[in-house]
Structure 1
């Protein structure tokens, strides 16, 4: 959201006040926090203290190498709930000191410091080991009111329009800008499918079911990471608005509705260290079972399938030598108009427990699709309504919509009893032998005219809903299957959702462009603290041609998690051509051989928050050529993957400094003199797949591995 008309003027409908200079400072928390009082005009005499708004800026150290900042206009307005649950260690290395010359006061947290100028205009400098990272100056911070100048009708029940209505209602808003250095890049802000480097973009943190072709996102995370070696979390579950080098082309701006803005700066120097500190606060990616890293096969969405279809697919994969780990039943394992009642369609699956037993006997785990929307024809609707477990309107009636399922309502996860009720219904599926769940949806959550059981702020609950939903299901699986054996396939997310994996990339088209969109989204999500990620091999919407399918198979089986899924067509390889069978077998076996390396990488994600699929800048932060790359990635620290996104098989690959060996054709590229780009053309049995010489992937896979 923009507040100014160019650099010098505010917009005609905006009133914006900014800090002038420090008036006084108080120290708290055993000298580990400070509160700075900043009038919005110069105080030359006692009279100037009258009719002068003051911004209170508090600095604290919630963890070593982390500094939290709170900007408040009116403290009497409570911070809206829900808020992100962030953890702090018992001991923190921090202190407040004043400069000998009296010109500044500094909060040091480990090697990170916030230095506030005491003489002259308002300015805060953030330093790492004494070197500058970024800063906030007098024109950066602000408190704004916007004159309402338009009314946006709420014609939809999915929350998308209501965000605009709230933003048009006049605020207030608190804003901050952090300076961008020349050449600095900003990454993250969730799973975003546009340009990987966020400079020049406006990003609204607002979960929406918008596919992969739009600026909307299923997973909005108000956290970004800078190429200069720091991260920033805006600690607000609501609609944080980012202007990355747009309103002020030399700053990253973020603003929130309300009287208070809270954000945290994470030091670290290297991107992986920044993520270590960030996930220590917001949640580590959970440890996942080994079997989850194998190949998942789905029924697809609207296809016709029954027990015979399912077993023919599973047996067909086995007969062709393609290892399979999980079979997934998508939506229509339940009856249409009944989602979600968690009851098997009796006509299609008259003996579900028997079918699950057959799949288990074949060595497979079983996954079923669920969501938190309760259709009016569901047997759970009347029960949930009577017991007060469904979201209600302000007049006490149940909130309902016909979008997706006729007359559907939402489970109110702010009510602990409703959460227990919902997960209790899933217990029956676990009793039947279901091993895990695909937790779909959770984005279309209304804002206007609704009342949650816990009386939380609907504007914040919109994004936070997905966390309540997915955490409830994940904790159920941990209780029933054990810690380290729980796994989801989730679509929506917010800050901290990385603790309840896995997440997949949503509904993409079956095109080369969509495959590249998906990768950008995955790399953006990895830059936001998520350790694992997957996508629909072959794309979701439409049916890929055989060539595209084979290219996507290679990409999908070199992702952290691999799933065959589509909308209205199956994804078993023999329906494309026989070569597709060969390609899938080759890459599935390749992933099996790489499993020890992948499990080590997954352990690193769990213990330190380092993602399995890493953008190139993250693994090679000192290499300027790596900072803009979004068509290749590192799978762990030593394996470089460059998928093919063109029908002709051509791919441009950047190899950083070192010696690299291709895992399939054995080519060795010597880059010891410095990183360089190469162009290669690969058939469908290969792609850009290089390992650093002398590392585990080469030990695990013969240099000329080829299952043909």
Structure 2
């Protein structure tokens, strides 16, 4: 929200007041910080303290490299929940150090410090590395304050605050050339400088400034990140109100955020994962191809069987089959019961499919809404499992499902009932749940079962409690590391419950690019795993779009074919073109390649979850933070630390891409290119720019491998790409357990005793 009209004037109807000086500094009650008393005018005489607002700014050490900043106007305001679950694995202990010098008072949290200027009648708080080598950002004059709208003309007007909106805001400085990234799965420009961003979950598709996954964390190219510690609506003006500042504002009396020092993006993300939780692990089978029925298409048991038989006949292994919405009876979403007219024996069908080997796992679509035509609606309403209006009525509207209600997950009984419904699905052979929706959570005229929560804070937070409940139900049934969601909505901390996909994209090259920007941004927000609707959700993809999408979609961490009103099995897209360049052959090639990459992918996945970094899509700036171009590239990505992918957006295969500094080897041809430089290539549908970074030992499954789950240390091919002394590759089994380490020593590869069967080591660049 903008509080000013240009640099000099207040916005119409707004009264803003600012912390004009630091009047007093005291130690906080925790003993780990300092509290600043900041009047909203400079105190030149004793009488200046009267009829005056003040702001409190509390600065505390959280852990090494992380400091919190809390700004408060009226401290008596109630602090209602819900709140983010911070430090789920425990808060690391660090003693705060408070020192004073002629320059000011400094609070240090290990490698990060904040210094409050000692200049009289000044407001200047700088954040910097403790060793003084790196200046990060600053809170300067008129950068911390509160605003009221409409602006009262007299303090007496604040007697009735029901008619006045009150905001707290801070403005951190933007350095010359600094870029800002993350803030969830955002489909707008990769660098957020110049944008207004509202953190408010919405079902807006991939072609707008709305986002399904709003994450209140952003990453700066200057070596730090900021996490805003509130699930309510946060409005950011990122170099858009003041070109040299990032303004963060919330409606209320209090704003808290954490600044996290790197200096590299890897270190920032790793520390962010300490604060909000590390990404959860996913099983190896989830990396295989997922095939969906699509959304509004007509399908029954025979359709499903035909799809899977057709994929098997075309040598396209399907790991997971997904039943989308119409496994349920029309108007009865979501009552957890297969439509008996279309699926008379779902348990038997699932068992037969698995026994025949046409599919390994089954996923079904669910959401937390109940249409009133569903038989379970009356039960849920009677027992108080649904969100209510303030007058006691069940909250209903005709948005999405007729007269639908919303499951109230603040009610423990409702949670237990919901899990019981899920368990009935698990009993018939369902292995995974697509947790769709959860964005359109109302905030007006609602009463939650837990009356202590603030409806406005529940809007975004609902995504967390919804996905956690389903994820933990899957864990309880199948084991801690066997749980997999396919979720659309998220908030900070939801990375603990993988995985997510990118929502409703169109079947166009522009939507491919939008989706990639969304995946890159989510990866820079602490999420390790991500998928996309291959071929696009809306519309009928042209065969060339489908094939270009398949190529990079199979190089995402997770890969699903899904559409809206048209099928995504390849033979329906191109009239069953049986040539080597047809959709079926193209999908088979890329599915087989992903299977061969599994020893590398699954090893990198363990590293990603341990360190809070994305497996894919991984922005180039994570691997090459000192390369300015890497912070601008938004049409390509890394898969793990060693593979670079440049998707193709043109029918005839022309693509321009960037390679950072070093030697890069074409995975398919062995051709070597040297960066940093831009290149242009032309590809058919069976290849794209897939380049291997130097100093890589790439472990692949054997030639011809088509399975997703196998022994990743047996019969493998180890390729050496300009691998110098000390280059390593960690070997894991198909549960993610480390079983050995290959390392280049003395010109050879050591650790080969961990390899089994007929393995081969190839020096590609001999």
Classify the TM-score, shorter chain.
over 0.9
Matches within 5 A, 1:414-433: 414-433=410-429
Q: Which runs of 5+ in 2 are unaligned?
A: 153-160, 704-716, 722-761
Residue number in structure 1 paired with 2:741: none
Q: Which residue of 2 aligns with 1:59?
A: 59
Once the two structures are TM-superposed, the CA of residue 571 in structure 1 deviates from its matched residue by 0.9
Aligned-residue offset at 1:99: 2.2
Q: Deviations over 1:263-293 (max 9, x none)?
A: 0001110001100000111011101000000
Name the residue aligned to 2:251. Answer: 257
Query: Are residue 97 (structure 1) and residue 93 (structure 2) matched?
Result: no
Secondary structure, counterpart of 1:657 in structure 2? strand
1:140 aligns with 2:143: yes
SS in 2 for 1:139: strand
1:612 aligns with 2:615: yes
For 2:650 and 2:93, the matched residues in 1 are separated by 51
Question: Matches of 1:696 and 1:419 in 2, distance apart?
Answer: 47
Cα separation, partners in 2 of 1:287 and 1:698, compared to 1, 3 Å = closer
CA distance in 2 between partners of 1:45 and 1:417 (Å)? 60
C-alpha distance after superposition, 1:457-491 (max 9, x if no partner): 11111111111111100010011110000000000
Match of 1:631 in 2: 635
Match of 2:43 in 1: 43
* 1:83-140 Cα shifts (integer Å, max 9, x gaps): 1110174542332323233x41111011001111132311110002322100001211
Whether the 8 Å CA contact 1:94–1:107 is kept in 2: the answer is no
Q: Secondary structure at the match of 1:393?
A: coil
Question: Where does structure 1 differ by over 3 angstroms across 4 or more consecutive aligned residues?
Answer: 28-31, 88-91, 167-170, 696-705
Structure 1 residue 380 displacement after superposition: 1.4
**How many residues end up aligned between the 2 structures?**
684
Distance 1:583 1:486 in 2: 30
Q: For 1:464-543, what aligned pairs fall within 5 Å after superposition? A: 464-543=461-540
Greater shift, 687-696 or 388-397, is seen at: 687-696
Q: Tell me, in whole angstroms, the C-alpha distance in 2 between the residues paired with 1:537 and 1:210.
A: 19
CA–CA distance in structure 2, aligned partners of residues 522 and 360 of structure 1: 32
Q: Secondary structure at the residue paired with 1:316? A: helix
Aligned-partner Cα distance in 2 for 1:658–1:328? 42
Q: CA deviation at 1:670?
A: 2.7
Are residue 209 (structure 1) and residue 203 (structure 2) matched?
Answer: yes
Q: Structure 1: state its 5+ residue gaps.
A: 150-166
Alignment match, 1:28: 28
Q: Is the 8 A contact 2:599 2:700 kept in 1?
A: no
2:708 paired residue number: none
SS in 2 for 1:60: strand
Q: Does 1:71 find its partner at 2:71?
A: yes
Kindly state the Cα deviation for residue 418 of structure 1 after the two structures are TM-superposed: 1.0
The residue that corresponds to 2:711 in the other structure is: none
Secondary structure of the structure 1 residue equivalent to 2:415? helix
Check whether the contact 2:474–2:484 (CA below 8 A) recurs between aligned residues. yes
Tell me whether 407-416 or 116-125 shows the greater mean CA deviation. 116-125
Equivalent position SS for 1:133: strand
The Cα shift of 1:667 comes to 1.8
2:385 aligned with 1:389: yes
Take 1:602 and 1:91, find their aligned partners in 2: how far apart are those partners? 24
SS of the counterpart of 1:94?
A: coil
| Structure 1 residue 462 corresponds to structure 2 residue 459 | yes
Q: CA offset at residue 448 of structure 1?
A: 0.7
Cα deviation per residue 1:629-666 (whole Å; 9 max; x = unaligned)?
00001111010000001112111111111111111222
Match of 2:659 in 1: 655
Q: Which moved more, 1:568-577 or 1:689-698?
A: 689-698
Higher relative contact order (CA 8 A, sep 6+): 1
Alignment partner of 1:325 out of 314, 319, 325:
319
* Aligned equivalent of 1:583: 586
Does residue 374 of structure 1 match 2:378?
no
Instruction: Give me the whole-angstrom Cα distance separating, in 2, the residues matched to 1:66 and 1:329.
Output: 44
CA contact (8 A) 1:61 1:92 kept: no
Provide the TM-score with structure 1 as the length reference.
0.94
**TM-score when scaled to structure 2?**
0.87
Say which is worse superposed, 85-94 or 414-423, in terms of deviation: 85-94
Question: Structure 1: how far apart are the matches of 2:694 and 2:44?
Answer: 67
Question: Deviation at 1:148?
Answer: 8.2
